[in-house]
Every structure is written in C-alpha cells, then in structure tokens.
Structure 1
Amino acid sequence: MGPLQFHVSGSPGDGPRSLTSALHERLRADILATRLLPGQKLHIAGLAKQFSVSLAAVREALSRLVADGLVQASDQRGFRVSPVSLADLADVTQTRIDIEGLALRRSIERGDDAWLASVKSAWADLKAVPYRYPDDPTVHYEEWVIRHRIFHRALVNACGSPWLLGFRDVLHEQSERYRRLSIRREVGGKPRDVEAEHKAIVAAVIKRDADAAVRALSKHFGITKEFVELAASRIAEVSGAT
C-alpha cells in the first residue's frame, strides 16, 4: 500500500482532540475502504511520523477504532486491523438483519410524513448516481457509497431508539468492509440488480407494510452475504496481510 495522503491543519484553534478526531476518521475511512487490510499491523510510531501527530494522538485514535470494532489490541502484538472471516460475515449479517429489521419495523410504525419524505429523497439521491462495483476505481463509486449509507440510515431514522441506531451503525460499518471485498458481479450467471433490491424495500415502506419491508431488507443483506462468500478467496488473501 502506498503512502497515505493526509494533512491535519494546525490552526491556532486546533488542539490534540481535534487532531485525534481527524486521524480517527482518516484511519476509519481507510479500514472501511480496505486501503488498510484486515489483519494489517498498525505501528504507532510509524503512524505518528506519517501523519505528523503525537504518539498519544495515535494511541487515542486507535483506541477509538477498537471501540468501533475495526481494530484489535493485544499486549503482545499491539494494534492491528480487525480480521475478517466467513463465520464473522455470517454473524454480522444475521445480527444486522435482526437489529436493522427491528429498527425499520419501528420506523414504519412510528414515522411521520416528514420521515417518509426523507426516505423518498434519499432514495432519489441514490438513484441519481450510477451503481459501481467495488473493483471499479471511479469517483462515482465513493459517491454511491456515501449516498447508499445515507439511504439506509434514512430508512431507520424514525425508530425512536438512539441505542438501536448506534448498534445498527456499528453493524453497517462492519458490513461495509465485507461488501467492498465482494468483487463478484453476478451469482449463478445472473448479474446483481442492487437498484431493484432497494426499490423493493422502498415500495414496502411507502405502503407501510412492515413485514414486506423487513423481508426485502433481509433479502438485500442476504444477497450481499452471498456475493462476499463467492469472493472467499479474496477474503482469505487479505486476511493473511501483515
């Protein structure tokens, strides 16, 4: 992996906490985008030098990533990016179905017209950017990822539970790492139609059919899992990174 292009401005108002937050966000983004690979060692001194920050700032940023579930810490081995596995993928996917399905059901039950309008708006914004596969090195893919995240969050924003949303967000980030490892474009010779999957979810939400919406959401997550499983060789390859 080449050097990370990163700069933290040092204006008079900036302090250690803002530097730490900036570093945390950068490392988090690199982990989710698999620019920092699963299992990769994270050397505190090297990161401090690379980003021109203190050792303490690096330690705090890495500690936050441990809390996020994206980094693991060990007394003997230091810090490293959390590994991936098919067993973990299955666990993450099923737990996400359970948590996000509950949040979606509650949102449909409790959401008002403003919430429904926000879902439609996020859906329109997502459709406006053509879908790109994770192995397509274009700026459109990153823009699609951002809008995709906003769309899925909009679906559950009316659930009324900050705790539920917090757990949901952690699972979304874990799922995102796996989704980016999925480089297969079709299953059984049939190309994936992500837009159709999203359309089915939105259609059920608009009808306020919670059962149908949760089924469509579960199917959507299950297809992603299937694609990642077909990329198992890629997961094995990056899991051996050091």
Structure 2
Amino acid sequence: MANTVETQRFEAEARAGETVGEVAYRRIRLDIVNGRLQPGEKLKLDRMKQVYEASVTTLREILNRLAVEELVAAEGQRGFRVADVTAAELRQLGELRALLETHALRQSIERGDLDWEAGVVAAHYKLSVLERGLIGDMAEPVENWVACDWGFHYATISACDQPVLARTHASIFDRFVRYHMLALSFRGPPAAAEHAKLRDLVIERKADAAVELLGRHIRGGIEHILSTGRFD
C-alpha cells in the first residue's frame, strides 16, 4: 500500500532495517501530502536537519527525489520549496487517477476472490462510520476521512495483480489527496452515497457500472475541492 496520509503517519520509523534517510524521506513526503508543509514553503535545510534528524547531504538527496515526484520544486542555488498547487494540475491529476483506477478496478472485479470482497466491505464499513460522523457534524478530523477514503479505494483495486500500476496509482492518488488535505473539506452525503453504491457494484461484479460511477465520483471530488476557492 502507498504511504498515504495519516494511515501510515509513523509507519516509517517502525520498519525494521530502514535507514535514517528512508525514514526522513517518508516523514517529509507525508508532511507535504498532509499539508503540514505548505505549497511554496521554503525548505530550509538547517531547520529540517533538526526536525527530521538527517544530515544536510541526506536531506538534499531526499528533496531531489521528491522533486522527481513533483512534490518539491528545486530552485537551483536557491535551494528547494514545496511544490505549488493549481486548479489545472488538480484536474490533470484527477484525470490520470481516473484512468489508472478505472483500469485497475476492472481487473480487480475480474480477478478478485472472496477475501478481496470481504476486504472491500470492511474498508467501506470503516469509511462509512467516519462519513456518518462528518455528516452529523461530529468533531471528526477530515484527514481521518481522507485516510479511510484511500483505504476503501485501494481495497477495490487491490486484486488487479499489477504492481507497477498499483504503485503509479498510489503516487498519483497521494498528489490528488494533497489537494483534499489543503482544502480540508468533505463533500458530504453525495460522496457517502457514491461510496456505498460503488461497494455494491464492485461486489456484484458490475464492472461497467462501477467504472462509470467511479469516474463521476472522482470528477465530483475535483469540483468540490475547487469550489472551496483555495486554488486558482
């Protein structure tokens, strides 16, 4: 599974045998995706050295790696900053997410077994509990919903048996999720209803209908994020 939002917040530190650099990479990446490091923010190596407990040399390597992932922007001799966000990029990420996820969903519906179905149901149950709380105005952090949203969508495509596709999708999903975390806004009953319907269509192996719904669901999420007015 990808290193997406709060679901794996401190997982990096717990992974046996990981280097200091790998732990720092995962923490910095997570802080960018979760919006703790804001778009355009200057990434000052002296400060980061204390926060992430890594050397300046290691941090430079990490930031160059994140620049390749387009989560960080390299500014030549001026150092690094967190990558900006734009409405145009959000739309492009949404289109790419839809392309990858709908393909993986078809494959999973074709190949998934009973354990896969159970995983989809379990992931949706956890998500639905959080959604009911948010709809009922309970003090549930939106970031917890984002984590469970990832868990559900990942569960639906987890039987695709295409590791390269899964890794690419996870990377795009994280960049898409970054916009959700910056907006910190839940779409409400429409999103919850779509998740429940998607669960049913997946379990019933209705691939065409599931893919069509997933496309609408992603587009609805894009328009909701843009409606917050946070992105130009």
Instruction: Pick the TM interval, shorter chain.
Output: 0.7 to 0.9
Unaligned runs of 5+ in 1: 1-5, 237-242
Give the equivalent residue in structure 1 for 2:228.
Answer: 231
- Going from structure 1 to structure 2, the CA distance change for 1:51 and 1:206 (only over 3 Å counts) comes to closer
Give the equivalent residue in structure 2 for 1:157.
Answer: 158
Distance 1:85 1:142 in 2: 20
Instruction: Please say if 1:200 is aligned against 2:197.
Output: yes
Alignment root-mean-square deviation, CA: 2.7
Alignment of 1:60-209 (within 5 A): 60-130=61-131, 140-182=141-183, 192-209=189-206
Distance 1:131 1:171 in 2: 27
Shift of the alpha carbon at 1:211? 0.7
Distance 1:207 1:52 in 2: 49
Distance 2:84 2:93 in 1: 13
Instruction: Please say if 1:36 is aligned against 2:37.
Output: yes
- Going from structure 1 to structure 2, the CA distance change for 1:235 and 1:137 (only over 3 Å counts) comes to farther
Give the conservation status (yes or no) of the 8 Å contact 1:107–1:159: yes
Give the conservation status (yes or no) of the 8 Å contact 1:41–1:81: yes
| 1:128-176, Cα deviation, whole Å (9 max, x unpaired) | 334677xx99564343332221111111111111111011101110110
Distance 1:167 1:47 in 2: 28
Percent of residue pairs identical: 34
Shift of the alpha carbon at 1:98? 0.7
Which of structures 1 and 2 has the bigger CA Rg?
A: 1
Distance 2:198 2:60 in 1: 41
Higher fraction of helix: 2
Give the equivalent residue in structure 1 for 2:52.
Answer: 51
Letter in 1 for 2:221: T
How many residues are paired up? 218
Give the equivalent residue in structure 2 for 1:239.
Answer: none
Deviates more, 1:76-85 or 1:151-160: 76-85
Distance 2:37 2:174 in 1: 14
Shift of the alpha carbon at 1:87? 0.9
Give the conservation status (yes or no) of the 8 Å contact 1:90–1:225: yes
Give the conservation status (yes or no) of the 8 Å contact 2:142–2:185: no
Give the conservation status (yes or no) of the 8 Å contact 1:185–1:192: no
Distance 2:132 2:165 in 1: 28
Distance 1:132 1:37 in 2: 27
Shift of the alpha carbon at 1:84? 0.9
- Going from structure 1 to structure 2, the CA distance change for 1:22 and 1:138 (only over 3 Å counts) comes to farther
- Going from structure 1 to structure 2, the CA distance change for 1:109 and 1:24 (only over 3 Å counts) comes to same
- Going from structure 1 to structure 2, the CA distance change for 1:235 and 1:62 (only over 3 Å counts) comes to same
Distance 1:137 1:117 in 2: 28
Distance 2:92 2:65 in 1: 22
- Going from structure 1 to structure 2, the CA distance change for 1:178 and 1:137 (only over 3 Å counts) comes to farther
Deviates more, 1:52-61 or 1:205-214: 52-61
Distance 2:86 2:157 in 1: 27
Shift of the alpha carbon at 1:45? 2.2
Give the conservation status (yes or no) of the 8 Å contact 2:21–2:58: yes
